[in-house]
Amino acid sequence: MNYLESKAYLESLAPTLTRPTLDRISRFMDLMPEQADVPCIHIGGTNGKGSTVAIADSVLRALGYKVGRFTGPHLLRWNERFHVDGKAISDEDFARLATRLRGMSEKFGKDYPDMGPLTWFEFLTVIAFMYFAECNVDLAVMEVGLGGRFDATTVRTNPWVTVITNVSLDHTHLLGDTVEKIAFEKAGIIEPGISVITACQGAALDEVLRVAEEKASLVYAVTAENEIELYAGSRKFRSASAEPVLKLLSDNLSLQGPHQLSNGLLALLATAECALASGGVDNCGAKHSGVEGDDEPRMPAGPEEFIDTIEGFDVETLSAALRNVRWPGRLQYLPEGDLLLDGAHNPSGAQALRASLDQLQPQKRPLFVVSCFESKDAKRLLACLVRSGERVFVAEAQGRRSSHSKEHMLGWLSDLGAIAESFASIADAVDAARDRRDKDEFIVICGSFAAVKETMQHFGYASVEDSYLSNAEA
């Protein structure tokens, strides 16, 4: 298969399982003994997973690691999901691996008809494992696809540290209708004895602590007061202030919005744990591999040791890595349209987006272009995002996934006191917003990654990298 044929094949696969299970992909990976376990940072949670992956990837590469990165969803091209050393997989390598894996998957389906071939996300996950092993990466940063307990990324990984960004209500039809139920699913990525770093709070943190205690895993929890607390089970042992690291992030991180400081903190704490686990990083930023022949287990780090490790990184190297983070579609400014893109697609994401807009543009009013998938709680999302008197242009995204109807969206917006209109497409809504915005308005595209994708396509981008090139030229 070439790239286009590989893309068409992937889009023909079943998207998910009616009954979640790891049986099929576990059995499949058992047939691939040449694939060594991938050392990784495993990152799950409701919001902020991808941003945390992108930050950790940039920092680890700056510190001398050869890093693989697996993320989702992609915006314009499937290649975006697989990076090594900051570069997306080539069309040729993607097609080559997809062709090889297709043959293996279809043979597996015939040999095990009760299981069948891989689903599309299982297929993508195995490509990541194959590509990272082929490239001989030092470390992979793996983003969970959905939930955690039954996510394909848990099957063949060797986590040095687990990150759970946060937990809120999303994908309730699959993960449960309470924060506790969803936290249980997210905590399914916790491995026995592997430390957990999280920004979960309240009932979600309680559930993470409960699962971690069963796995004999320590938990480092970041509080709302910017303290890092060390837990063993429900017992809190030590804490340290995260303010020095947050100051570093505030001064350097390229990603906008106060919520990105939390994601950056999690990424740096995970990086510190990896540096400690692998023997440390010197002040030049070069990775050490540890003492040869030393099999003594490392004593668990305290929160203050994480802070000391981060502060021990070369300041210029670390600052440059934070400035170089790129994560498209997250408060991303497009100079061509003089607008912001953000993939906020659930109430918590919308709340974070609103806080960021109020901070970044306090003297202006947002003019929203919104499209939401039918599986999302759009009514609550809009309530978190839109204020009375603001204008909202609504459209339905193209593609296989159903969007909330324009009629429902207009009704919910009317209840909020917003001034809403509907358009035939996202492109039409974007053009109307650009033509008709007032001087005190700025345009924000949000509600789904489909809205972000169609806006990028409307401006003629062939890849997400194009959108950053245009930014650099502005």
Same structural domain for residues 294 and 413?
A: no
Average pLDDT, the chain: 90
Residue position matching structure tokens 């169609």: 454
**CATH number assigned to the domain comprising residue 453:** 3.90.190.20
342: left (phi over 0), alpha (psi -120 to 50) or beta: beta
pLDDT at residue 281, as a whole number: 47
Q: Domain of 91: which CATH number?
A: 3.40.1190.10
User: What is the structure's pLDDT at 472?
Assistant: 53
| Residue 326 to residues 7, 51, 80, 205, 292, Cα–Cα distance (Å) | 24, 9, 12, 29, 36
Q: Strands 67-70 and 82-84: what pairing?
A: antiparallel
Q: Are strands 227-232 and 235-241 parallel, antiparallel or unpaired?
A: antiparallel
pTM for the model: 0.92
Domain count, the chain: 2
Give the chain's radius of gyration (CA, Å): 22
Model confidence band, residue 286 (pLDDT cutoffs 50, 70, 90): very low
115 and 147 share a domain? Answer: yes
Instruction: Dump pLDDT digits (tens) for 26-42.
Output: 999 988 876 667 889 99
**What pLDDT, on the 0 to 100 scale, is given for residue 36?**
66
CA–CA gap between residue 191 and residue 228 (Å, rounded):
21
Local structure of 182: helix, strand or coil: helix
Round to whole Å and give the CA distance between 106 and 12.
13
Predicted local distance difference test score (pLDDT) of residue 395: 96
Do 148 and 250 lie in one domain? The reply is yes
Last residue of a domain, one of 304, 323, 342: 323
Residue among 332, 374, 334 at smallest CA distance from 353:
332
Residue partners of 138: CB distance under 8 A and separation at least 6? 39, 65, 66, 67, 287
Tokens at residue 83, please?
């990076």
- pLDDT reading at 87 higher than 50: yes
Could you give the CA distance from residue 9 to residue 1 in angstroms, rounded to a whole number? Answer: 9
Q: pLDDT per residue over 245-275, tens digit each?
A: 999 999 999 999 999 999 999 999 999 999 8
Does 289 score more than 60 pLDDT? no
Domain that holds residue 286: 3-323
Clarify whether residues 317 and 375 are in a common domain: no
Give the per-residue pLDDT at 174. Answer: 56
Above 90 in pLDDT, residue 302?
no
Residues 298 and 374 reside in one and the same domain: no
Q: With CA atoms as reference, report the closest residue to 269 among 187, 160, 193, 350.
A: 160
Do residue 315 and residue 349 come from a single domain? no
**Residues 18 and 111 both lie in one domain:** yes
> Do residues 246 and 358 both lie within one domain?
no
Out of 292, 323, 354, pick the residue that ends a domain: 323
Residues 337 and 383 in one domain: yes
Would you state the pLDDT for residue 38? 81
Q: Which residues contact 380 (CB under 8 A, 6 or more apart)?
A: 347
Same domain, 405 and 454: yes
What is the distance in angstroms between the CA of the first residue and the CA of the last residue of the chain? 39
Q: What was the pLDDT predicted at 252?
A: 97
Domain boundary among the residues 284, 305, 323 is at 323
Least confident of 173-177, 380-384, 404-408, 452-456: 173-177
CA distance 433 to 393: 7
pLDDT digits (tens, 9 = 90+) for 98-109: 999 999 999 999
**What's the rounded mean pLDDT across residues 229-235?**
90
Asked whether 124 and 72 are in contact (CB, 8 A), the reply is yes
Q: What is the pLDDT of residues 406-419, one digit of tens each?
A: 999 999 999 999 99
**Residues in contact with 83: Cβ distance below 8 Å, sequence separation at least 6, in sequence order:** 57, 67, 68, 69, 71, 89
